[in-house]
A and B are shown apart, each in its own frame.
Chain A
């Protein structure tokens, strides 16, 4: 199985701050990576797919990058509504595997 190691586990950011979340795969996943945001009590929402493609309707302050085994999600200018949990998902090979999640809070 492909292991997805996500970091950090938690993050506290000030309004307007730029933050990054990382996911490292145990093998090459050929950019088959998505990022999701999950707010408390809600279902996950897709932010980024194919490592760097912004989902329709997602603010442009969100961006994704990476290749091979290393991927990152960047939020350029933290907003109050960005608080929540963030997960990466590799879709390269079954079983699909998620990162362990990052809890993002406003400082």
Chain B
């Protein structure tokens, strides 16, 4: 069974950093492109970033370019999202996904 388990969410002040992790199991992680998708409270879904199976290619939405970094460790079957210079508008539940399968989400609140 495919499992994606996010961790690392929490409350953080504007301008500070947070790193999300996503532990994957039940499939060959190194064969899949991976994605971070977020959902602000009571809002729709918003794609954040993607990474190729090898990690050699990364893609970001404009509003997080230069602030967020997606990475992966295929030996550990783990996906990461380093979030720097956080803003209030980054407040959301962050999902790790293959697009076929999604994690349960990690809540990130940016507030002073």
List which B51-97 residues lie within 8 A (CB) of chain A.
59, 61-62, 95
Which residues from chain B contact A45 at a C-beta distance below 8 Å?
102
Known contacts A44-B102, A95-B59, A101-B45; 10 additional CB pairs below 8 A are A43-B95, A43-B105, A44-B95, A46-B100, A49-B99, A94-B59, A95-B62, A97-B47, A98-B45, A101-B44
B103 within 8 A of A: yes
| C-alpha spacing A94/B35, complex, angstroms | 12
Which residues from chain A contact B45 at a C-beta distance below 8 Å?
36, 44, 87, 89, 98, 101
Per-position 1/0 for A67-107, Cβ under 8 A of B = 00000000000000000000101010011111111000000
Per-position 1/0 for A6-36, Cβ under 8 A of B = 0000000000000000000000000000101
- Interface size counted on chain B using CB atoms at 8 A: 17
Binding site for A on B (CB under 8 A): 35, 44-47, 50, 59, 61-62, 95, 99-105
A55 within 8 A of B: yes
With A46-B101, A91-B99 as contacts: A96 and B44 at CB distance below 8 Å: no
Q: A-B pairs with the 9 shortest C-beta distances? A: A96-B47, A43-B102, A98-B45, A94-B59, A101-B44, A95-B61, A100-B44, A46-B100, A44-B102
19 contacts between A and B (CB under 8 A): A36-B45, A43-B95, A43-B102, A43-B105, A44-B102, A46-B99, A46-B100, A46-B101, A49-B99, A87-B44, A89-B45, A94-B50, A96-B35, A96-B50, A98-B44, A98-B46, A98-B47, A100-B44, A101-B44
- When C-beta atoms are compared, the residue in chain B nearest to A99 turns out to be B44
- Interface size counted on chain A using CB atoms at 8 A: 19
